[in-house]
Structure 1
Amino acid sequence: MTTLSRRGLLAAGGAVVVAAATSACSVKEPSSSSGQKAITFLTFETPNLTPAYWDAAIKRVTGKNPDIKVQKLVSPTADGRTDYAKQLLTSGQFPDVMIAVSPAGFAEAGALYAWSPAELKDFVYPTANPIKGKYYQLPANTQTIPPVYYNKPMFAEAGITTTPTTWAQLLTAAAALKAKGRTPFVVGGGKDAFASAMILDGIVSVDIYGTTPDWMTRRRAGTVKFSDADFTAALAKFADLAAKGYLKASDVSRDYAATEQAFLDGKGAMYPMGNWFAANADGKSHSFEIGVFNLPSADGRTVVPAYTGGGMIVSAKAANLDTAKRFALAFQVDKTQLDASVKADGLIPAIKGYTPPSTVGPVYRAGYDLYQQAVTKNEVVHAFRWETADDGLLPGMTDKVDAAAQDLITGRKNPAQAGAYLDAEWAKAGG
């Protein structure tokens, strides 16, 4: 994944970045006497993206560019990589290259290199995720967030013969599954709190962005709020799933890896998760056939939330800046690396002319085809919570969305309280 605990690292958000940017410097090994130029590269690890995956990816680039020497850094947690980058910045150890780290806050503080149009020529969406008119993160891949993966035998057992296309049909399916003693939805949380919010992310994307695509831009302008009726209705829709027992409050303590494994072990019928799950759906052992469908809208209209970005960002103050840029671009457009990212993390590379290998698994192929159909029909919207630019959440707010989702699942907050909480946190974040 780009599965992204943040807890305990930094709570100050973008303000910390602004305060530190002017004095931070990169930490790196000195260039070697052989003429190599050294850079530091911040990665993260997940069940999909193992140390071996990153080591092989780095070696592919350095094998073709022997003058580049890479020191790999690893975030202590997968979900906390952006906060870890902030921590490194404040301590004067900002990496030269980072992957899947949100540029928000860093870019505004002048800590990041802005890519030129010529450098972005190989990307399908070169103008994705602008920050004040500039582009700081390579728009390397697309992720749909969240499709709904489901256990086909459990659906059949419950008498569900077609996948839901409306919210009412989804609720009917959940009721039928619960009647058979099955947990309808697998959710998680723990140190990877985003796993609690996946369904909520999808509801907001489909219900709100589906009718008001620029809702987040309006939120930044202060013309809409989280406590408004439409957003509160989305919160209520999510809370209703927990109230009906279609997901378990006790599961919010389960981390991402355990959540994925719970679905693969047959502990629930539906698993709303980013399309990165397709890699393990096709590659990990399980005893049932997995299908996938789009999270339904109220009226059956197809709305597919997606995020394009997630690629490399480069420190503007890297001592070997040209080398850092060359490494980042070479990493992102290498065909072998793109194929590896498809296999390991279920990504949809947003590189011109790229097509996935014919050997991809059936779950990946099904999700890929759903996305391509949505692109053709202009049915794609931003994925709420996952945006990283001027039309995204303010720095630090993703944690607050995750916390609100957990509070709705456990009943600690009702929808109105959750909306008010998000508005209050937004104000604290500078909105």
Structure 2
Amino acid sequence: MRRAWALGAAIAVVLTACSVKQDTGGSTGGDVKEVSFLTFETPNLTPAYWDAAIKRVTDKYPDIKVNKLVAPTTQGRTDYAKQLRQSGQFPDVMIAVDPAGFAEAGDLYDWKPDELKDFQFPNANPIKGGHHQLPANTQTIPPIYYNKKMFADAGVTSTPKTWAELLDAAAKLKAKGLQPFTIGGGKDGFPASMIMTGVVSVDVYGRTPDWLTQRRAGKVKFSDPLFVSAVAKFADLATKGYLSKDDVSRDYAATEQAFLDGKGAMYPMGNWFAAAADSKPHGFDIGVFNFPTEDGKLVVPAYTGGGISVNAHAKNLDAAKRFAIAFQTDKQQIDVSVKADGLVPAIKGYQMPADIGPVLKAGYDLYKEAVDKNAVVNSFGWETADDGLLPGMKNKFYAVAQDIVTGRKTAVEACAFLDTEWEKAK
């Protein structure tokens, strides 16, 4: 399992030995090498974002030609990569694709120590002792963004720190005819599971940080009381009407827009939403608070990784590796990524831009506080290494979250389902 202290080093953004790359216009020369690059699109990461990002690297390395591929859904990129592999079209480079399964099969390049020297956590996310995804950034998943006007209208005067305070806020909002939470689902799945991720992370990992490692070892189960009690809190929100079952038909983009349109007071989402909160039109002020815990103790779920993986069998392996490293370490590219997607880069020597927006700054400050207080845990369902869910289990997690919201499964039934699927995945 990744250590919480390792995540903390992400805040050490001012270092004496700067490793952030500056554009030198260098090139290796020679014949043009083609590489395919699997991306994904979100409301933040638009086609224009990817095209410009690719151009920054190919301007620096004109001997590399990139053929962009786009996953059909935001969270479907891993499944799409599997389909491409099965059809003999496995991409040369892929970003934010879960390496589990691919790495064990020998299909991903194992990054060497000298190639990881510019990253703050070169040993993050090991799979069978290897490192198959560049540990590019840290994300908190999920804080809760909120509509300050709705909170004021409902008489909610402070942001919740305990679960009881969250329930009280939701009750006051509902009593005023306001939808307490904005959630989604649809083709992307994961927006329905964000609250479940939060409550499992703070309640389960907050007590047992290596719980999922123990699950892999068969020492604990999803149907154990600790896990069931966390899921029951999520189910209780649905039972009380604080979550709308109709919302799970919305995809990710529509879910984000629904919150920006004022259709819900609270929006549990990864810190990447801060970029949209700071840049997209909305008629109210947006605040952010940490996911509440049972007793108010500070516990902040976060994930470091999510970077580029390279096909170990790529025809132009050297070009693919050069592209990946340049994409993840070029300062101009990182600056654009920070503002576009609200991430916290885990690159040595990097400093956050001075002009980041207020919502991103607020979330970043919350994360720094958690780091200072050693209060960071893994974000359940987002791990991608030996301490993560088994291959294929993330989609089961997203599906069972939607089943809970719609009333098709109780918390006990949902946890039993996860145990059954886990045995199949083994």
Calculate the TM-score normalised by the size of structure 2: 0.92
Aligned with 1:360 (options 351, 356, 363): 356
Equivalent position of 1:275 in the other structure: 271
3-state SS in 2 of match to 1:40 = strand
Shift of residue 401, structure 1, vs aligned partner: 0.7
Aligned with 1:198 (options 194, 198, 201): 194
2:111 is the counterpart of 1:115 = yes
3-state SS in 2 of match to 1:83 = helix
Equivalent position of 1:349 in the other structure: 345
Read off the aligned partner of 2:343 and give its amino acid letter: L
**CA deviation vs aligned residue, 1:33-83 (integer Å, no higher than 9, x gap):** 971111111111111111110110011011111111111111122210000
Equivalent position of 1:25 in the other structure: none
Aligned with 1:404 (options 400, 404, 407): 400
Equivalent position of 2:132 in the other structure: 136
| Distance (Å, rounded) in 2 between the aligned partners of 1:80 and 1:168 | 35
Aligned with 1:105 (options 77, 85, 101): 101
Equivalent position of 2:36 in the other structure: 40
3-state SS in 2 of match to 1:188 = coil
2:386 is the counterpart of 1:390 = yes
| Distance (Å, rounded) in 2 between the aligned partners of 1:199 and 1:374 | 19
Equivalent position of 1:174 in the other structure: 170
Read off the aligned partner of 1:145 and give its amino acid letter: I
Calculate the TM-score normalised by the size of structure 1: 0.91
**For residues 212-223 of structure 1, what are the structure 2 equivalents within 5 Å?**
212-223=208-219
3-state SS in 2 of match to 1:114 = coil
Read off the aligned partner of 1:280 and give its amino acid letter: A
| Distance (Å, rounded) in 1 between the aligned partners of 2:30 and 2:367 | 47
Aligned with 2:320 (options 320, 324, 328): 324
| Distance (Å, rounded) in 1 between the aligned partners of 2:107 and 2:88 | 12
3-state SS in 2 of match to 1:142 = strand
Read off the aligned partner of 1:146 and give its amino acid letter: P
**CA deviation vs aligned residue, 1:166-223 (integer Å, no higher than 9, x gap):** 1111111111111111011110011011010000000000000011000000000001
Tell me: higher relative CO, structure 1 or 2? Use CA pairs within 8 A at least 6 residues apart: 2
Read off the aligned partner of 2:119 and give its amino acid letter: F
3-state SS in 2 of match to 1:186 = coil
Shift of residue 160, structure 1, vs aligned partner: 1.2
Equivalent position of 1:306 in the other structure: 302
Read off the aligned partner of 2:356 and give its amino acid letter: V
| Distance (Å, rounded) in 2 between the aligned partners of 1:171 and 1:354 | 39
Shift of residue 288, structure 1, vs aligned partner: 0.2
**CA deviation vs aligned residue, 1:335-393 (integer Å, no higher than 9, x gap):** 11111111111111111111211111100000011111111211110000000110000
**CA deviation vs aligned residue, 1:111-164 (integer Å, no higher than 9, x gap):** 010001111111111111110111100000111100000000111111111111
**CA deviation vs aligned residue, 1:227-254 (integer Å, no higher than 9, x gap):** 0001110111000001111110111111
2:123 is the counterpart of 1:127 = yes
**For residues 205-284 of structure 1, what are the structure 2 equivalents within 5 Å?**
205-284=201-280
Read off the aligned partner of 1:219 and give its amino acid letter: R
Read off the aligned partner of 2:373 and give its amino acid letter: K
Read off the aligned partner of 1:333 and give its amino acid letter: T
Read off the aligned partner of 1:313 and give its amino acid letter: S
| Distance (Å, rounded) in 2 between the aligned partners of 1:355 and 1:34 | 35
| Distance (Å, rounded) in 2 between the aligned partners of 1:372 and 1:268 | 28
CA RMSD of aligned residues (A): 1.0
| Distance (Å, rounded) in 2 between the aligned partners of 1:174 and 1:341 | 33
2:58 is the counterpart of 1:96 = no
| Distance (Å, rounded) in 2 between the aligned partners of 1:77 and 1:229 | 34
Equivalent position of 1:422 in the other structure: 418
3-state SS in 1 of match to 2:255 = helix
Is there any run of 5+ residues in structure 2 with no aligned partner, and where? 1-28
Read off the aligned partner of 2:371 and give its amino acid letter: V
Q: Once structures 1 and 2 are overlaid, which stretch shifts more, 154-163 or 202-211?
A: 154-163
3-state SS in 2 of match to 1:258 = helix
3-state SS in 2 of match to 1:274 = coil
| Distance (Å, rounded) in 2 between the aligned partners of 1:327 and 1:83 | 23
| Distance (Å, rounded) in 1 between the aligned partners of 2:150 and 2:71 | 37
Aligned length: 398
| Distance (Å, rounded) in 2 between the aligned partners of 1:281 and 1:128 | 29
Equivalent position of 1:19 in the other structure: none
| Distance (Å, rounded) in 2 between the aligned partners of 1:228 and 1:247 | 25
Equivalent position of 1:58 in the other structure: 54
| Distance (Å, rounded) in 1 between the aligned partners of 2:257 and 2:216 | 37
Equivalent position of 1:370 in the other structure: 366
Equivalent position of 2:66 in the other structure: 70
Shift of residue 271, structure 1, vs aligned partner: 0.2
Read off the aligned partner of 2:349 and give its amino acid letter: G
